[in-house]
Amino acid sequence: MALVRHQVIDQQTAFASATRTVDFTPHSAANYVKFYWNISATGGTTPGPSDLSLSYIDPTSGVVVALDEGAFAQIANTGHALLVVHPALASDVAGIPRNARSLLPGQMRASFTFSRTDGDETYTYTLTADWYTGT
């Protein structure tokens, strides 16, 4: 396995909305990826829980389709999660890391959902990807 690129997909400081979507393009030479999601700080009355799901975007129709097993575990307040998307690994939504068995699509989307129960909650987070070639 060879790392071909480390990429910051999204990074926010004191983000104060309930949802966010970010579209991105996988590295063209990569055949699998490790996604790292870290919520390093929260603020407000009742922050958390937070969710992140990964989807692919159909190149012909533009329809967004959920990646099989592509949802991270819910993060209660601060914390981190790891998801490996690999064409040969068995899907595993209970383990750490979580595995999603899939080929890498040409276009992807990250969808974030944050609790905003009292309207004053904020989140500082980073989503990064390490793109790899090999097995």
Residue 93 banded pLDDT, cuts 50, 70, 90: low
CATH of the domain at 85: 2.60.120.380
- Three-class SS state of 98: strand
Q: Give me the number of domains the chain comprises.
A: 1
Task: Round to whole Å and give the CA distance between 16 and 124.
Answer: 9
Q: In 10 A of CB 24, how many CB atoms?
A: 14
In this predicted structure, what is the pLDDT of residue 91? 76
Mean per-residue pLDDT for 27-48? Answer: 92
